[in-house]
Amino acid sequence: MPTKNQGRMAQDMKRELIAIIGAMKDPRVAGGLLTVTRLDVTPDLDVAKVYISVMGREGGCAPVVKALNKASGHVRTEISRRMHIRKAPRFVFVEDDGAAYAAHISEVLRTLDENQGPPQA
């Protein structure tokens, strides 16, 4: 599959995936702010790696990732049905720690700025 078509299919798949996850009634998935940050699909449509970020949950991202991996068969069926594709990829949900890493870097930069103090004149 050419790269241009693969990227377009990944974007369409991400859009449908967000709608499917939003309609899920599993309490482990429903609470908190869940964001699909990235979706990587192999060229042969065998595996799709979905990176998710969860904010506002006391349990963290681990129970949400576990619940989504349990429901990956349902997600695969729904994607196939909604996108009218014969072969839907196997979904693997992974925690995306990009937002937490950005917050950590921001905190480190803030402490460095505090340690330097005001500029000398």
Determine the CATH number of domain 3-116.
3.30.300.20
The whole-number pLDDT of residue 2 equals 52
Place of tokens 């700025």: 113
> For residues 100 and 1, which has the higher predicted lDDT (pLDDT)?
100
**Structure confidence by residue, pLDDT tens digits, 55-114:** 877 777 888 899 999 999 999 999 999 999 888 899 999 998 777 788 888 889 888 877
Which amino acid would we find at residue 111?
T
pLDDT at 93: 95
| DSSP structural state of residue 71 | T
Which long-range CB contacts under 8 A does 11-17 form with residues at least 24 apart? 12/83, 13/39, 13/41, 13/48, 13/79, 13/83, 13/89, 14/39, 16/78, 16/79, 16/82, 16/83, 17/50, 17/75, 17/79, 17/91
Position 118 pLDDT exceeds 70 = no
Sheet holding 90-95: strands in order across?
33-41, 47-55, 90-95
Average pLDDT over every residue of 44-63 = 85
Residue 54 has pLDDT above 50, yes or no: yes
d(CA 103, CA 106): 5
pLDDT recorded at residue 6: 77
Say which residues have a Cβ less than 8 Å from residue 69's Cβ, sequence separation at least 6: 92, 93
Predicted confidence at residue 39, as pLDDT, reads 92
Q: What pLDDT sits at residue 1?
A: 44
Q: Is the pLDDT of residue 119 over 70?
A: no
For residue 25, pLDDT over 50 is answered with: yes
Cα separation, 100 vs 110, in Å, equals 15
